[in-house]
Amino acid sequence: MPNRAIFEDVVEPSLARIPETELVHYETVDGVEQIVSHLVYRNVLTDFDQKLSQHMAATKGEGFPVITVLTRVCARDGAAVWKQTGRSNHATIPHALKAIGERALGEAESATVLACSCEFGGEETDRSGVERVLSRTDLETLGRVLDNARSFGEYEFLDLSGDYTLVVVQPNGIDGNPVTMDIQCGTLSAAVSDGQGFEGPLWGFTQQITEDAGARAYLARVHHALSGAKEDAILAFRAAAEERIMSFDKALQGRPLEGFRLDAAMALVARLKAGFGDSLFGLSEAAQITALEWAASIAKEGGAPYSDSREVGAPMGAEIRPSAAAA
């Protein structure tokens, strides 16, 4: 399964979500002014899924999304009747902000986005908070920031946060101040404990890497630390998978895979195949044979795709109710 299918069909039912912020802008549709609310949530994976995500990032370049955005609309005048219109998943907060900004701009050259200070996900239509006027240039610069950040490694190995004015990146395993990318000033800077930092323009970062000794040295340190973090991630998931397989096999106590046991086996096998491939190479022989026997039993029983068994976890629309999200 692709990462998206694994996340939506297998991982999503078992994660928790923390409200982060609400961003609001206004649109006119068929002459009716609407409030468009974007509720931004941080996804909290189980320990096993977190290890799987890091393993996938290390081996395939992409793990599971950290941020989910629920979008809803309501007429600006009249009763507060909100309608959910979509949701999207994103690698980081800045990725989500870029997507929201692009929705707010549409075909215009600028748009106002409100970061709300009211209770998260409230049903009322009145909104208060900090206004930010976004331009197309702002979003292009934010896109450049995200490209620059990716130069330091996969997003799963970066502590990346920020807003429409400033993004900070802390590469895994690097001591000292994070990399600061100032969207308003168009500058990028980094400082480390031994003084081997650098500073330069956002749009000239690629060239700076080839010309600036400080930038080359910093990036080399980042990539060295990243290699170690990836190796640790692979070993951590391998150990966790071995333990998970043996624990599940013990819990089965020889009972057949049916009903809720079949659902659980399907979910575990899907996770294992996402990490190790269909052959499950990388596991010990005992763990590999055990899990492959489950996979064969699932196929023999005609196990439906896991997406058809989502009753084991609430769908997004049910698990996030704007009026109760902050409770």
Pairwise CA distance, residues 125 & 79, whole Å: 8
CB under 8 Å to 185, separation ≥6 — which residues?
Answer: none
- pLDDT tens per residue, the chain (327 residues)? 567 889 999 999 999 999 999 999 999 887 888 999 999 999 999 999 999 999 999 999 999 999 999 999 998 886 778 999 999 999 999 999 999 999 999 989 999 999 987 677 777 777 778 899 999 999 999 999 999 999 999 999 999 999 999 999 998 877 767 899 999 999 998 876 666 678 889 998 888 888 888 888 888 888 999 999 999 999 999 999 999 999 999 999 989 898 999 999 999 999 999 999 999 999 999 999 999 999 999 988 765 444 333 333 333 443 333 333 332
CB 183 within 8 A of CB 138: yes
SS3 track for 147-168: HHHHCCCCHHHEEEEECCCEEE
Pairwise CA distance, residues 32 & 4, whole Å: 35
Please, what is the Cα angle at 311 between 309 and 313, to 5 degrees? 105
Residue count (the chain): 327
CB 3 within 8 A of CB 64: yes
CB 93 within 8 A of CB 113: no
The DSSP code sequence of 221-272 is HHHHHHHHHHHHHHHHHHHHHHHHHHHHHHHHTT--S-THHHHHHHHHHHHH
